[in-house]
Structure 1
């Protein structure tokens, strides 16, 4: 794929990258990006720089990890800077993922932006099309870096056309959380969470009593994407946008209609509450014992378990799917790290050295324990702090098992499109319409799919094959 003139093309492309939360841990996302230097051969990016060798190379890293996540990121940066003398990383928090990408766009012409940027997973198609990056595959090939040490199901999302464009950093997927005490009181086996749509609907009925509801799922587009993948169903045509550019949304297909019909029926039966779009609201209701089941990111696990401490036991289960569904699994959420190609070759190489440091088992173990995100490196599970953390939070084993049980195919690899944030918002609008009784599930999804397909078409006109 070849991008049209970057300065005229990217403002059009950027319209699809606005205002949406990231699919992980409640952190919101960046938006925007302008490519310059797009004609520079990627292979040149790893040549040695002519800068004086006695001066460390400064690498600016823009990220969207706030609060406790930001503190954990800062610790990793500090550890890297003290581990060697050739590169100094400066981490700069840039707000949500959308805000960070908008700032990247504004910085490109002046080259005042970062060498490394964290971008949410649904920005992948845009970042590739922007031509603003040097794929990490370039550095992997040059170093003969062994990616077999990394989790294949995580790498799989960020591979497009067999090439790894970015390195995964913070990774999560959704799991079912349930109140074991309420399960016992309802005569349900607290060690056997519902695995299918049918089992969950039946459990929700039994759990709904004494002013408490069986559950609540936030109206979150990420959940619908996951329900598709768990049925082995693709969200977009053309192999989920991976065999060639997607041109059509498949949101109104059987997987979508089946899922929304099931969801709406539970809301209509008053066994499932509709608490709106914010996962914070479903978390609060769960912690208060008002609902027995909910869906949330694995990155929220520690917070959810801690909020229930002294009140009830939290159980975890795989994301449910219809009985008889095809092989599938979950799609990774979160964000990855991109190296920008308008920075010097020395800065790009320095960014790569930092990326390799972050992927090391020791760093991944620290990151996982202090944030709840998955380690991307398999050997991190051998680190004692990870073993200790699993002892304290055994519920996380569910997340690990679910990741490893996921069947790799185009559905679980995840959809890629340049207007993903807008598509996710339209999906949420359709779910709302159905749950609020304004439209039937199929009608609501068909309307959203038509709008998404239109936006995909507009986006595709900004790139030439």
Structure 2
């Protein structure tokens, strides 16, 4: 196998990977998708078990929900819990702050496998839900959703189908986001620029010197680093140039368009000085006026609007020569497979409530994350928000450019980590894409070769 051009030497599709998991009872594939897991997560459930018959099951009286409060949403989440408990007085929801971010929740969830500490409901981010599924730590939700009349047809199809595998959905969308282009309207005006985001990255290149001139030579664009972040927003630049991390299971880090995207990132930071990597938090730096623009999650919108002492503009991510694209991201919510049917039913009832049209609109208004139901996107609550704060509309409108993430990042164990390492070498060490992408490709392939291939 050539690690620069392919991840898996065997023909492996999403469907037959699940078949393999069932044949091996889940245990052989534990190492393949567990990342930093601790414990015997693969023993949680058997994927060959018959579908649960929910008829006659009574919901448990208490469930535990693990969340990281996306978008500083603890108070909002507690209010939603209060509303659910008022409508369902026989069920208590215990909210647990299980981590500061998606990665910390995932690591804790996998460490809890096989213990009494497993929650009933858990955050399942874009780069973690697939591992949960392969490890048989979560249940498919279609049957339960149907039993509860959860009206999944009202979910935005793109956001809901992000969790679809082998004709089943393994999570429901909750705090869902895309990256947005945020800009400081005061600095934009001072530079003589039109009141909008750059339509293309070429246009940004043309505008950057004008912005730098009114910023005492500072780089106008602030960007962030770190896992679950850098390899996410970079998809926009890469896809816009026609590149990709992978096509299904075949690696594409060596194709010219992907290398060109990596080297464009290198150039704007290290040569043009039109972009700078924030030391800690690019969103906070933008809100403090340290950069003229940034690429940040829709989930940061409320915080940015609250902290900025200037008028904030939002726009679509700039297009490349091959078009305008944005990755979807954020987190869904999944139900643990090791819990009793009674607990799963109660968790499903709360999940239905948590993601209904009223609650998703409330959550969106409080945080900036996108409403996940089509009926909520243009409902009364969001329409009022759009009128008051038109920046909220940008993320919803940009969904037309949304694209599902490449499997090398979202499905392959530690794929996001390996890609982030390469991108940080480009950004922070001025490394050429040709020098760092091959190792990322090889590391992703090795993750497969060592943990999956022996069991095929």
What SS does the aligned partner of 1:402 have?
A: helix
Q: Label 1:288 to 1:98 Cα distance change in 2 as closer, same or farther (>3 A).
A: closer
Greater shift, 3-12 or 312-321, is seen at 3-12
The alpha carbon displacement at 1:5 in A equals 4.6
Match of 1:221? 231
1:292 is matched with: 292
Measure the CA separation in 1 of the matches of 2:43 and 2:279: 33
The Cα offsets for residues 53-86 of structure 1, whole Å up to 9 and x where unpaired, read as 6x85322222222783222212211211110234
Q: What is aligned with 1:26?
A: none
Change (3 A) 1:38 1:296: same
Tell me the residue number matched to 1:406: 401
Aligned-pair CA distance for 1:129: 0.7
Deviation at 1:173, TM superposition (A): 0.7
Structure 2 counterpart of 1:354, from 334, 345, 350: 350
Q: Check 1:168–1:45 CA distance in 2 against 1; reply closer, same or farther (3 A cut).
A: farther
Query: Residue 174 of structure 2 corresponds to which residue in structure 1?
Result: 169
1:302 paired with 2:310, answer: no
Q: Deviations over 1:11-70 (max 9, x none)?
A: 56323569xxxxxxxxxxxx9945423256251253433xxx6x8532222222278322
Question: Which residue of structure 2 lines up, in the alignment, with residue 36 of structure 1?
Answer: 44
Q: Please list, as runs of the form range in 1=range in 2, the aligned pairs for 1:377-392 lying within 5 A after superposition.
A: 377-392=373-388
RMSD: 2.9
- Quick one: structure 1 residues 432 and 47, their matched pair in 2 at CA, closer, same or farther if it must change by over 3 Å? same
Structure 1 counterpart SS, 2:182: strand
Q: 2:154 aligns with which of 149, 153, 157?
A: 149
**Which residue of structure 2 lines up, in the alignment, with residue 261 of structure 1?**
263
Distance 1:420-1:277 versus aligned 2 partners, 3 A rule: farther
Contact 1:32-1:102 within 8 A present in 2 as well? no
Give matches, 1:22-421, under 5 Å. Answer: 33-38=41-46, 41-44=49-52, 46-49=54-57, 57-65=61-69, 68-95=72-99, 96-142=101-147, 145-190=150-195, 192-209=196-213, 210-219=216-225, 220-230=230-240, 234-238=244-248, 246=249, 248-276=250-278, 278=280, 280=281, 282-309=282-309, 312-323=310-321, 325-326=322-323, 329-403=325-399, 405-406=400-401, 412-416=403-407
Note if contact 1:116-1:340 (Cα within 8 Å) is conserved in structure 2. yes
C-alpha change, 1:203 and 1:66, in structure 2 (3 Å) is closer
- Greater mean deviation of Cα atoms: 55-64 or 314-323: 55-64
CA 1:188 to 1:103, structure 2 compared with 1: closer, same or farther past 3 Å?
A: closer
Asked if 1:14 is matched to 2:34, the reply is yes
**How far off its partner does 1:401 sit?**
0.7
Q: Cα distance 1:289–1:269, how it changes in 2: closer, same or farther (>3 A)?
A: farther
Counterparts of 1:317 and 1:42, CA distance in 2: 47
- Cα separation, partners in 2 of 1:252 and 1:387, compared to 1, 3 Å: same
1:443 has 2:440 as partner: no
Question: Which string of whole-angstrom CA distances, capped at 9 and with x for unpartnered residues, describes residues 87-146 of structure 1?
Answer: 332222211433333433344324442222112111122112112222012223445643
TM-score, length-normalised on structure 2? 0.84
Q: Residue by residue, what CA displacement relative to the aligned partner does 1:260-292 show, whole Å, maximum 9, x if unpaired?
A: 2222222234432432564x1x23432343322
Distance 2:132 2:451 in 1: 13
Query: Shift of residue 9 of structure 1?
Result: 4.7
Do the aligned residues in 2 keep the contact of 1:176 with 1:294 (CA within 8 Å)?
yes
39-48 vs 86-95, greater mean Cα deviation: 39-48
Q: Is the 8 A contact 1:48 1:345 kept in 2?
A: no
How many Å separate the matches in 2 of 1:35 and 1:277? 41
Q: Distance in 1 between matches of 2:66 and 2:42?
A: 15
2: distance between equivalents of 1:374 and 1:360? 13
1:267, 1:274 within 8 Å by CA — same for their partners in 2?
yes
Report the 3-state secondary structure (helix = DSSP H, G, I; strand = E; otherwise coil) of the residue aligned with 1:320: coil
Distance 1:71 1:450, change over 3 A: same
**Structure 1 residue 441 displacement after superposition:** 2.1
User: How many residues were matched structurally?
Assistant: 428
Give 3-state SS (helix, strand or coil) of 2:65's partner: strand
* Contact kept? 1:64, 1:100, Cα under 8 Å: yes
Residues 80 and 144 (structure 1 numbering): CA distance in 2 closer, same or farther, change over 3 Å? closer
What is the DSSP-based 3-state SS (H/G/I as helix, E as strand, rest coil) of the residue aligned with 2:84? helix
How far off its partner does 1:180 sit?
1.9
- Structure 1 residues without counterparts, runs of 5 or longer: 19-30, 239-245
What's the offset of the Cα at 1:463? Answer: 6.1
Q: Which digits, 9 at most, give the CA deviation of each residue in 1:131-171, with x for residues without a partner? A: 22220122234456432211112113112233211111111
2:417 is aligned, of 407, 415, 425, to 425
